[in-house]
Amino acid sequence: MKRIPYGIINYKTLIEENYIYVDKTMYLEKLENVSNAVFYFRPRVFGKSLFTNMMSYYYDINSKDLFDSLFKDTCVYENPTKEKNSYYVLKFDFSAIESADKSNKELAVAFKDKVISGIKGFNNQYDTNIIVDESKDTAKILDSFIRQFQALKLNHKIYIIIDEYDNFLNYILEGSAYRFKSVVEDERILKKFYEAVKIYIEKGIIGRFFATGICSITFDSIKTSFNIAKDLSFDLEFNSMAGLTDKEVRELLEKIVDEKDRDNIYNLMVRNYGGYSFNKNASEKVFNTTLIMYLLNYYERFKDVPDKMEDKNVVSNYHKIEHFLKLKNNEIYKDILDKLLKSNEIVGQLVTDFNLLIDLNENDLISLLYYFGYLTIKEYDSVKDKMIFKIPNEVIKETYNDYFIKILNKMKITIDNKRMEAIFNETILSSKITELSEYVSDLLKSTDNRIFMKFDEKYIALIYYTLLRHPLMAIYLEYPCKNGYIDIYLQSQNKEIMKKNIIIELKYIKKQDYTDKLLEEKRKEAKEQLLNYSEDERLGDVCRYLVVFVGNDLKILEEV
């Protein structure tokens, strides 16, 4: 049985050591037909590194004898492109540059060191012995290398492949947009390097250039130096070149997961790892590759799913959402976060050309959240000529929720862990929510409701959501069922311990609007909704609760 390639980015290792490879070789011909200089942006851990590594073996002239063994089970084996194994591949990897505490001068040196390392790797690969004068600046080193390569009068051109060309710059961006601007405009670091690449592409010595990255904001800053490059990130044809499609995920499940478990694990993957779309016309959503492999790797070992659906090594990348929302000390983030926490959606325009000379606006921030995987495209509103973005899945929703907890902590609202222990015992063991709802009311009374969110039942639902994270149950807000959207759905993850699922319908009345008649109307409305929701047999055996708050006061808690 083939192994799960969790964390493996070397294509040769993956094939030779009998790991599963999800075939992406069909995109090689498409890339050859589009442009000879390409950038491709996707969020972190979507499989970009493995793709570039596969490319290097496919195009490397020295790997010609390995073609049959490395590509025999792939799409490109039966239909190889005309450029197969016809390049000297020059690889650069800028992802490992530590940038957080370095000055521009130190970053220029670190960038140069990576370029030198790539050239030395080329010398070792092809036994070219090209001299590298390390006293020169980066662009001159590259220029000298290509001139010496040209003098060798070899029969093939260079293919430059760069993995995560902007990773070290994004760490700077996460900390300071002002510092980021100064770095990308520093000619010692980027501009002169890409000017040199452009010159030798135009001269025909560099035959092709391919670079992966995360965000177009760096690309925008070097466009003037490298205006021949094409960004394929929004091209429908390349929507799923990185990431896994629904069909690919289902095929993995058939190979790895027992038939009795497939539907359950597939649904978990859809809710937690799927939902990404990178083109407004894309009909299929894409899954996060690394998280899919994380779950399958766990299942292969233990025949079960992990308690935590998120891989801590992956999700640590997402815990910097606050850095993006507060770039340049803007105040726009309050409205953005308010909309996303309450509805999981926001409307805006996708920015493809950032201008760091001016303050970031709402569309800039929404677009950054999109590029880094915190949002994805839901649909295009042609009337308003705007995009509707959404939170793609529960793992990312959890990230926003963690940020919400930070906000509560800053307001001096701390969670009583001893009280929470009693609440979990009641909710999980007895499927009741009395102590939970009373605690929510107490928390609401201790908060300042004038924090940046407009207070309503969705704010109350967020408090429930914040409190109820536990490995024995999954919690969903606005859960879709046959007859509408359930405000809160608690789904047991272990039926031996938590025997029933729970659905909650929340209603809220402002204190100034309260009347006994309105209270009764809200109660009846909630009861009717719960009865309608529970007609959906997919919810299983459920306990139904209607909860009505008047201001901060828990007015009605009733099991239906």
The pTM for the full model equals 0.87
Q: Locate all alpha helices (DSSP H) within 188-331, ordered by sequence.
A: 191-202, 216-222, 246-256, 259-273, 289-302, 312-315, 321-325
Give the pLDDT score at 407: 74
Q: Which of 266, 286, 315 is the last residue of a domain?
A: 315
In angstroms, rounded to a whole number, what is the distance separating the alpha carbons of residues 343 and 459? Answer: 11
Q: Does residue 423 belong to any structural domain of this protein?
A: yes
Contacts for 306 with CB less than 8 Å, ≥ 6 apart = 294, 295, 298
DSSP H/E element including 487: strand 484-492
In sequence order, the β-bridge partners of residue 3 are 19
Which of 315, 343, 358 lies at the terminal end of a domain, its last residue? 315
Same domain assignment for residues 226 and 79: yes
Pairing of strands 473-481, 376-381: unpaired
Helices 138-151 and 104-126: angle between axes, nearest 10 degrees: 20
DSSP for residue 425: I
Question: Residue 407 falls within a domain, yes or no?
Answer: no
Q: How far apart are CA 327 and CA 467, in angstroms?
A: 29
Residue 172: DSSP 8-state: H
Clarify whether residues 453 and 336 are in a common domain.
Answer: no
In this structure, what token pair is assigned to residue 559? 């099991």
Residue 141 lies in a domain: yes
Task: Domain of residue 494: give its range.
Answer: 413-559
Edge-first strand order for the sheet with 473-481 is 473-481, 484-492, 501-509, 542-550, 553-559
Q: What is the CATH number of the domain that holds 166?
A: 3.40.50
What is the spatial distance between Cα 360 and Cα 326, in angstroms, rounded to a whole number?
Answer: 10
What pLDDT score does 207 carry? Answer: 98
The answer to whether residue 222 is domain-embedded is yes
pLDDT in tens, the chain (560 residues): 789 999 899 999 999 999 999 999 999 999 999 999 999 999 999 999 999 999 999 999 999 999 999 999 999 999 999 999 999 999 998 887 877 678 888 888 999 999 999 999 999 999 999 999 999 999 999 999 999 999 999 999 999 999 999 888 888 887 777 788 888 877 778 889 999 999 999 999 999 999 999 998 888 778 878 999 999 999 999 999 999 999 999 999 999 999 999 999 999 999 999 999 999 999 889 999 999 999 999 999 999 988 788 887 776 666 677 777 777 666 788 788 888 888 889 999 998 888 766 677 889 899 999 999 999 999 998 888 899 999 999 899 888 887 877 777 776 667 888 999 999 999 999 999 999 999 999 988 886 555 555 677 888 888 898 888 888 888 888 888 889 999 999 999 888 999 999 999 999 999 899 999 999 999 999 999 999 999 998 898 999 999 999 988 999 999 99
Q: What is the pLDDT of residue 140?
A: 95
Q: Is 248 within a domain?
A: yes
Same domain for 217 and 68: yes
Rounded-to-integer distance, Cα 58 and Cα 159, Å? 11
Long-range contacts of 140-144, Cβ-Cβ distance < 8 Å, separation of 24 or more: 141/112, 141/115, 141/116, 142/115, 142/193, 142/196, 142/197, 143/196, 143/199
Query: What sign results for the dihedral spanned by CA atoms 116, 121, 127, 128?
Result: negative
Say if residue 234 is in the same domain as residue 248: no
Shared domain check, 266 and 142: no
Looking at the structure, do residues 363 and 425 belong to the same domain, yes or no? no
Q: Which two tokens stand for residue 40?
A: 């491709």
Question: Do 525 and 430 share a structural domain?
Answer: yes
Number of structural domains in the chain: 4
Same domain, 380 and 234: no
Same domain, 180 and 309: no
